């Protein structure tokens, strides 16, 4: 279903130039392309002591590990949140995307929870994080539909384990004998409303809090669709790094909206999971490749075109 990468990049560059608006649908593959990998060197560097203690395999599966105490639980999770939410991205993948989509009328729908779009400079008014945000805590019960910013709390936890933090957010590893795997009890976060244990604002079960900000972003997205995605509007549905874990959020709706609008184009860039229904195949661009490299090529082709 995918096409040769060079051909796909040329077609996508043309679609970006011709469209009046772009809706970006972003999944975890986009952040992986930006270097926010959950295994390998990055995982081993910041979690080596926890890997040795618990036998953790990667950050994804480690998120489900049953830690013996809350102090140990947050000893892991404070690092997980910090390196995936508050540290700088290893690659400028999101910055490349902003160069391409920024000049266009655009909106972003994402299942990612790492805040990379805003860190790259995307307007928060044009973003909808459907699955939560590593930067927010909520009540674990939950007693209310509220969330709160966790930067100061997470930073204090990370520093209590012995890490220093550079100006760009990079964690500096202490000597092995100074590194702790658990946080002090007085740093365990609790709900300011009822005192129950706090938890991350991630959609992992029915307790996920959809706060006022979530509903406001949802409303903005629905309004954007109503104004731009209906038949007669020349729109590009640009899907980046979306797999089949939750296709009902981005992939299937993008297919359906493209099918309803004869003036719409659907584009998918991913490492694998590149496919499209036959009904919209003639208006689809499917690129099986590294998202960072594809975006860099698109930016280069734009700049080359501007020079010419």
Q: DSSP class of residue 130?
A: T
User: For residue 72, is it within any domain?
Assistant: no
Residue 111: inside a domain: yes
CB 284 within 8 A of CB 266: yes
Q: Which residue has the tokens 């658990």?
A: 182
Mean pLDDT to the nearest integer, 276-300 = 97
Whether 215 maps to a domain, the answer reads: yes
Is 156 domain-assigned?
A: no
Least confident window among 1-15, 52-66, 96-110, 198-212? 1-15
% of the chain beyond a pLDDT of 90: 94
Residue 193: count other Cβ atoms within 10 Å of its Cβ: 13
Q: What is the domain extent for residue 14?
A: 1-36+91-130+211-308
Residue 285 lies in a domain: yes
**Res 308: pLDDT:** 40
Closest CA to 81 of 167, 192, 189, 178: 189
Q: Where are the alpha helices (DSSP H) in the chain?
A: 5-18, 28-33, 41-54, 59-62, 70-81, 93-101, 116-120, 151-160, 212-228, 251-260, 291-307
Q: Classify residue 194: in a domain, yes or no.
A: no
In a domain, 292, yes or no: yes
pTM of the model: 0.95
Write the pLDDT tens digit of every residue in 121-135.
999 999 999 999 999
Length of the chain (residues):
308
What would the mean pLDDT of 240-259 be, rounded to a whole number? 96
* Domain harbouring 15, CATH code: 3.40.50.1220
Distance CA 123, CA 125 (A): 5
b/e map 257-277, b = 16+ CB within 10 Å: bbeebeebbbbbbbeebbbbe
What pLDDT is recorded for position 3? 79
Residue 182 domain-assigned (yes or no): no
- Total of domains in the chain: 1
- On the question of a cis peptide bond just before residue 142, with omega within 30 degrees of 0, the verdict is yes
- pLDDT interval class at 1 (50, 70, 90): low
Output the CA–CA distances (angstroms, integers) from residue 244 to 123, 279, 302, in the order listed: 27, 19, 31
pLDDT digits (tens, 9 = 90+) for 134-155: 999 999 999 999 999 999 999 9
Once rounded to an integer, what is the mean pLDDT over residues 247-252? 96
């Amino acid at each position: 279903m995918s096409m040769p990468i060079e051909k796909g990049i040329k077609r996508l560059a043309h679609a970006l130039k011709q469209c009046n608006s772009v809706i970006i649908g972003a999944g975890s593959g986009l952040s992986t392309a930006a270097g926010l990998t959950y295994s390998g060197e990055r995982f081993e560097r910041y979690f080596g002591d926890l890997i040795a203690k618990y036998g953790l395999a990667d950050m994804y599966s480690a998120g489900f590990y049953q830690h013996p105490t809350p102090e140990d639980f947050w000893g892991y999770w404070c690092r997980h949140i910090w390196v995936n939410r508050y540290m700088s991205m290893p690659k400028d993948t999101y910055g490349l995307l902003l160069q391409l989509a920024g000049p266009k009328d655009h909106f972003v729908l994402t299942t990612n929870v790492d805040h990379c779009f805003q860190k790259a400079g995307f307007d928060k008014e044009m973003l909808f994080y459907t699955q939560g945000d590593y930067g927010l805590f909520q009540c674990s019960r939950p007693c209310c539909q509220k969330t709160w910013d966790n930067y100061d709390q997470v930073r204090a936890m990370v520093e209590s384990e012995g890490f220093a933090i550079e100006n760009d957010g990079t964690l500096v590893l202490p000597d092995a004998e100074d590194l702790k795997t658990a946080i002090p009890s007085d740093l365990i976060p609790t709900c300011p409303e009822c005192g129950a244990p706090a938890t991350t604002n991630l959609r992992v079960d029915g307790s996920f809090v959809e706060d006022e900000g979530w509903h406001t972003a949802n409303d903005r997205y629905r309004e954007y669709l109503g104004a731009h995605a209906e038949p007669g509007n020349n729109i590009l549905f640009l899907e980046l790094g979306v797999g089949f874990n939750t296709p009902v959020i981005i992939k299937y709706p993008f297919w359906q909206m493209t099918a309803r609008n004869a003036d719409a184009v659907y584009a998918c860039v991913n490492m694998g999971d590149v496919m499209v229904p036959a009904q919209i195949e003639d208006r689809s661009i499917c690129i099986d490749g590294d998202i960072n490299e594809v975006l860099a090529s698109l930016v280069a082709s734009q700049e080359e075109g501007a020079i010419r």
